[in-house]
Structure formats: structure tokens, C-alpha cells
Amino acid sequence: MKFAKNILCIGAGYVGGPTMAVIAAKCPGCKVTVVDVNEERIRRWNSDDLPIFEPGLLDVVRSVRGRNLFFSNDVVEGIRAADIIFVSVNTPTKTFGHGAGMASDLQYWEKTAHEIVAHADRSKIIVEKSTLPVRTAEAMECILQENKKGIHFEVISNPEFLSEGSAVKDLLEPDRVLIGSRQTESGRKAAQEIAAIFAHWVAADKIITSNLWSAELSKLVANAFLAQRISSINAVSALCEKTDADVAEISFAVGSDTRIGPRFLNASVGFGGSCFKKDILNLVYICRSYDLNEVADYWQAVIEINEYQQERFVRKIIKEMFNTIVGKKIVLLGFAFKANTGDTRESPGIFVAGKLLEERAQLVISDPQALENARKELSGLDGSVEYEPDPYRAAVDAQAIAVITEWDIYRKLDFAKIFASMRKPAFLFDGRNILDHQKLFQIGFNVFPLGKPSLTHFK
Ligand code: NAD
Ligand code: UGA
């Protein structure tokens, strides 16, 4: 079959895979190829055992795979054949050298730029899909324009705003699609070409165009704003615990103001995920590089509160369990950084588990999707850790349960049955405020929600 356009995506990860599957489903006239250097990942994308868990994703992939969606390790052929190349490689925090622990590690991204120059034999549009520091497109243009073949690459920024666990829905019904380009004739034309892809299913008023730098920076700022809301409510949760105010009531009251809005105001054990921390660290680093230290300090505080909240949660467990947890069996309900994903990157569960193990607790980790990743995250730590997918089995003989992930299944557990199988006094620390605390208390648990009065049977 002859396709109108060949679209390539370099990087078959949490963003590249789902995004391209949806583009293929919505643009049957385009051939969409996703390439990656990771052979195992590509093998799994070509099977029904996809490398990432996302509700609804397998159905979308199955409907288009082999029709106009292809997964391959052949990066070179992918580049040759493509009219449009999305670059969706990982951009983690740098772990070495200058800017370590703060700046973005751009090595994977830069490698793709060199590969594109080496193997492209005609002009192409290059789309930054990865989250990148503002003005990265300038560096990409420099590398790409170095070619001696007389071909032109137009660089576009099209940051991705999907959330894990709802990626398919977010891609099908985005709040907006942002396309940044050079404000030149060729830049605007390339932006229109990218907009035309999304116009297959996204309303015109939701496709926003901007200059390149605004698009790049909007992505970092959007994540910083979202994380800031969580740190704000988490900071308030600490004050609630001192004053007997209820953080959920405050979220509702404050979020009812239409200027503030109700979403992203759930107090938690802390935000996790591969991006919030890395993107804010990157924002802070960029601000400092421009000598904007007050601005950098402001955003850095969002991360500091997140670390404080995780520490506070662990300190509370230890203090309430009579200042010692040595040899006590503690169940972590959930290990994914949020519900509906198996992703554990930067999950607060990693911090909590590490600290509880340092205190020599015996941990049992339960999660419906993330146990494979949990094992990898905790490998190398000293201490006793079991992995048990069944929460009922996990709780047998346990002294305490700590809710780390807001999986829906945990709301529906039979806690009377769980309580009966546990050692007494039994403790429950709800790091997500998803359970019915009054009911748990009546069953016999000593209950410690976040940002709400605790319910204990002790005099
Ligand atoms: P990921 O680690 O899941 O996937 C990146 C993939 O790129 C990996 O499979 C890796 O093997 C591949 N890769 C690296 N270098 C390559 C090369 N030279 N050639 C071919 N393949 C290469 O990362 P992700 O979570 O998909 O994130 C990708 C980007 O999107 C990041 O910049 C991230 O900040 C951003 N982002 C992520 C999310 C999310 O929910 N995970 C959401 C929005 C934006
Ligand atoms: C986030 C953003 O929401 C996406 O728009 C963005 O594209 C993505 O980062 C990215 O750049 O990677 P994601 O990290 O997948 O998406 O998930 P979120 O729903 O934002 O949750 C992030 C963390 O915040 C989770 O640990 C979650 O449990 C926590 N959270 C969220 C809270 O603690 N309270 C809330 O009210 C909301």
C-alpha cells in the first residue's frame, strides 16, 4: 500500500509507543514506524505482552500493528524512509560531571541528531517530542545544519502532556496540542504539517502554535505548576495534622474556587514519576545558569517539600509504632508511582521502602502491576523484602499496612478479613487518603490518614 506520509518515531518508550499508536489509528493514510535501540522493548511491542502497561493501549496497538504501525530496531532505515521524525528518547537527570543531579542528560537526544544527519538523504521535519531544556532546538539545528548534503531540517517542538495510566485517553482527548516553530515561512509551514496530523482527531482550537522557545519552556512550566499544586497541598497536610483540620475538606473548599479548580489537590505520600522531579530540577538549573537564583529557589522548594512529605510519612510510621519497627512486618500496598501503571520510576515507595529497611522492618510489597519493577528498584538493598501480589496474603501476620499507591482495588478490600489475619495492635497508614478511615477504626485498626486527625484505640 502507498502511504501519503512516512512518520518515524525514535524512542519506543512510555511516550513514543502510545503516541504513535494513536497517530497510526487516527491517520490511516500515514505509515508510522517506531524504532528503538532496545531489542527487548521492540520485541515486546511486536507481541501482545507490551513493554508498558496502559489501560486500552493493547487494543489500539492491535488494531493498527502491521497495517500502518510498525516497530523495529532498524533506526537507519527508519531515518532514510521518513518524511517526519519525532524524537522521543529519554532525557533523564544527568548523573555525572557538570550539572550532575540537576541538568538534563542530553546524550541520547544528541546521538539521534547525529544519526539523522548521517543517514538522511532528503529534507525532513524533526519534531522534539522529548521534554528538553528551553533553546535545545537551537543546538539541534546546529547539528543538523552541519550536513554537507544541502538538505534542510526544520525543527519543531511538540511536547507531550500525557499522564501515565491515562495515556490513551489523554492522547485521544488532549486538553491541547502544542506546536512550536521558528517564525519563518518554512517554520510555519512545518508547524502546519504537524498540526495537520493532529487535526485528524483534535479540534482546531485545541491545537496551539507558538514560537519554539515558548513550546519548549511551556512543557517544563506545566509540570512545575502541577507538581507545585501537590507540594502546596502536601505542605498544608502537615499543618492539618497539627490543628485537627482535614486536608480533604480544605482541598474541596479551596478547589471549589473556579480560579483554582479541584484537580491535583490530593494530599499524598509525595509525587513520583519519571518527570516531575527531573523537569523541575532542569528548570532550576536553567534559572541558575541565567543567574535567576530567586526564581530557582522558588521552584526548588517544590521538590524540597516533596522530599519532606516522604520523610514525614516514614517518621510517622516509626513514631506511631512505638519508635521501633525492628523485625515488624509492614505491608506496602502499592509500589507504582500512581495507579493504573506498572511504572515505579521515582515512586515514593522507593524512599519509604529504603527507610523502613534501614530501620530493619520486614517488608512485604504488594502491587497489581509493578512488582517486576519494584524488585529492580529495591535490588541491592539490605534487609528482608517479600513480593506478594495478593494483598490478603501479604497482610497475614503483618503489624502495619501503608498505602503507597491509590489503586482502586484497595478501596474495595475486605479489611475486616485483613485485620483478622494481622498482629495486634494493627496499624494503617493511608498515604493516599483513599480508604474509609472511620470504618477501619471501627474494625479495630489504629488509623493514620494524611492531613487528618488520627484514629487510635490507645488511651
Ligand atoms: P523511556 O525511557 O520510556 O523511552 C525512551 C526510549 O528511547 C528507550 O526505549 C530508549 O531505548 C530509546 N532510545 C534512547 N536513545 C535512543 C537512540 N539513540 N535511538 C533509538 N532509541 C533510543 O522514556 P519516556 O518515558 O517515553 O520519555 C521520553 C521523553 O518524553 C522524555 O523526555 C520525557 O521527559 C518525556 N515525557 C514523558 C512522559 C511520560 O509519561 N513518561 C510524558 C511526557 C513527556
Ligand atoms: C505528569 C503530568 O501530569 C503530565 O501532564 C506530563 O506529561 C507527565 O508528567 C510527564 O511529563 O511525564 P505523570 O507523571 O504520568 O504525568 O502522572 P501524574 O498524574 O501527573 O502524577 C504524578 C505524581 O503526582 C504521581 O505520583 C501522583 O500520584 C501524584 N499526585 C497527583 C498526587 O500526589 N496528588 C495529586 O493530586 C495528583
Give me the helix-helix angle, 107-119 and 136-145, nearest 10°.
30
Q: Is residue 459 scored above 90 in pLDDT?
A: no
Q: What is the pLDDT of residues 396-439, one digit of tens each?
A: 999 999 999 999 999 999 999 999 999 999 999 999 999 999 99
Lowest-pLDDT range, 118-122, 133-137, 271-275, 344-348? Answer: 133-137
Grid coordinates representing 50 are 507490551
Alpha-helical segments (H) within 48-166: 57-64, 75-81, 107-119, 136-145
Helix (H) or strand (E) run with residue 251 in it? helix 247-255
Q: Is residue 1 scored above 80 in pLDDT?
A: no
pLDDT at residue 46, as a whole number: 98
> Domain 211-459: which CATH class?
alpha beta
What is the distance in A from the centroid of ligand 2 to the CA of 165? Answer: 10
Residues 6+ apart with CB under 8 A from 266: 230, 233, 251, 406, 432, 433
Residues of the chain with CATH 3.40.50.720: 5-202, 211-459
Atom of ligand 2 nearest to the CA of 269: 33
What is the distance in A from the centroid of ligand 2 to the CA of 275? Answer: 8
378 lines ligand 1 (CB under 6 A): no
Q: Quick check: 44 and 18 in contact, CB under 8 A? A: no
347 lines ligand 1 (CB under 6 A): no
Mean pLDDT of the region 55-71: 98
Mean pLDDT of the region 302-307: 98
Q: Is residue 54 scored above 90 in pLDDT?
A: yes
Q: What is the pLDDT of residues 363-404, one digit of tens each?
A: 999 999 999 999 999 998 989 999 999 999 999 999 999 999
Alpha-helical segments (H) within 291-423: 293-320, 348-358, 371-378, 391-395, 408-411, 415-421
235 lines ligand 1 (CB under 6 A): no
pLDDT at residue 219, as a whole number: 97
Substitution site in 129, 168, 223 for ligand 2 pocket (most atoms within 8 Å of beta carbon): 223
- The residue whose C-alpha atom lies closest to atom 16 belonging to ligand 2 is 163
Mean pLDDT of the region 25-48: 98
Dihedral Cα 103, 107, 110, 111, nearest 10 deg: -170
Substitution site in 170, 228, 229, 271 for ligand 2 pocket (most atoms within 8 Å of beta carbon): 271
Question: Which ligand neighbours the alpha carbon of 406 most closely?
Answer: 2
Name the pLDDT band for 147 (thresholds 50, 70, 90). confident
pLDDT at residue 12, as a whole number: 98
In the chain, what percentage of residues exceed pLDDT 70? 100
Mean pLDDT of the region 11-32: 98
- List ligand 2's pocket residues with C-beta within 6 A: 131, 160-164, 223, 226, 230, 264-266, 268, 271-273, 275-276, 337-338
Q: Is residue 331 scored above 90 in pLDDT?
A: yes
User: What amino acid positions are annotated as catalytic residues?
Assistant: 275
418 lines ligand 1 (CB under 6 A): no
Q: In CATH terms, is domain 5-202 a member of 3.40.50.720?
A: yes
Mean pLDDT for all residues in the chain: 97
